[in-house]
Amino acid sequence: MVSGLDSARKQLQWQLIMRVKISILASALLLAVFTYSINGQFRLFGPKQPRPTPQPMRKASALISKQAPLKVNQSLLKQTTHDNTRIVVSIPKQRAYLMIGDEIVADGPISSGRRGHESPTGHKHVLEKDPNHHSSLYGDFVDGSGRVVRGGVSARIDSAPSGTHFAGAPMKWFLRLTEDGVGMHVGVLPGYPASHGCIRQSADGAKLFYDYVKVGTPVDVGDY
């Protein structure tokens, strides 16, 4: 008899505990729903948060790594002649140096050959000077009026569309370094090796180097 009463009492206690737990869970659920509803109403009817101002699209020129401009030692430049200069090109530093002996007359930015088209290194000489040279390999296909129909082509690989002809890319102030056409000339300087093998220079740098060297001037290209 006593055992039966104890069992009934325990069952009643368990039922009370379960009711309390259910009541607590229900209250928590109602509170969560109420909070979500209040927040939703605030977002719907309250003051709107200002949208972030979109950043203007950057120009392509802004993405180009800025290199230090041409530097010229004016006192040394006055001593410079075609017969006492030499050129040193540093591939790691992406700089070209016009020098008298071991003294730097001018120091300018370059862009050498990209991967797969690395600029040839070693001891070389200026083989040719041409102030208005044009590439015989890289350029554009243009129509009779000079309008570019296809740009950035290779005369060796690409076929000219009907009614067009190949126009070689300009290589102003060209200094030829190899028989197969690699040289130094004016070009785009993105801040890293990007050419097909030539050594691009800024317009002012290419002109200065051109003016103070001759055919036969030594040129060293490498890890300087």
- Do 165 and 105 share a structural domain? yes
- Do 171 and 127 share a structural domain? yes
- Do 199 and 164 share a structural domain? yes
- Is residue 21 packed enough to be buried (19+ CB in 10 Å), middle (13-18) or exposed (0-12)? exposed
* Residue 54 resides in a domain: no
* Residue 142 resides in a domain: yes
* Residue 62 resides in a domain: no
- Do 109 and 27 share a structural domain? no
**Residue type for 170, please?**
P
- Do 115 and 79 share a structural domain? yes
How does pLDDT run along the chain (224 residues), one tens digit per residue? 545 556 666 666 666 667 766 777 766 666 665 555 545 444 444 555 667 676 676 665 555 568 999 999 999 999 999 999 999 999 999 999 999 999 999 999 999 999 999 999 999 999 999 999 998 778 788 888 888 888 777 778 888 888 888 787 889 999 999 999 999 999 999 999 999 999 999 999 999 999 999 999 999 999 99
**What is the tally of structural domains in the chain?**
2
- Do 82 and 15 share a structural domain? no
Residues 6+ apart with CB under 8 A from 85: 98, 99, 100, 105, 212, 213, 217
- Do 79 and 45 share a structural domain? no
- Do 189 and 100 share a structural domain? yes
* Residue 56 resides in a domain: no
* Residue 61 resides in a domain: no
* Residue 214 resides in a domain: yes
* Residue 59 resides in a domain: no
- Do 118 and 19 share a structural domain? no
- Do 44 and 77 share a structural domain? no
pTM for the full predicted model: 0.69
- Do 117 and 186 share a structural domain? yes
Instruction: Name the residue range of residue 31's domain.
Output: 1-49
* Residue 165 resides in a domain: yes
Integer angstrom CA distances of residue 71 from 29, 114, 205: 73, 25, 9
- Do 183 and 215 share a structural domain? yes
Cα(28)–Cα(93) distance, rounded to whole angstroms?
66
Q: Report the CATH number that the domain containing residue 178 is assigned in CATH.
A: 2.40.440.10
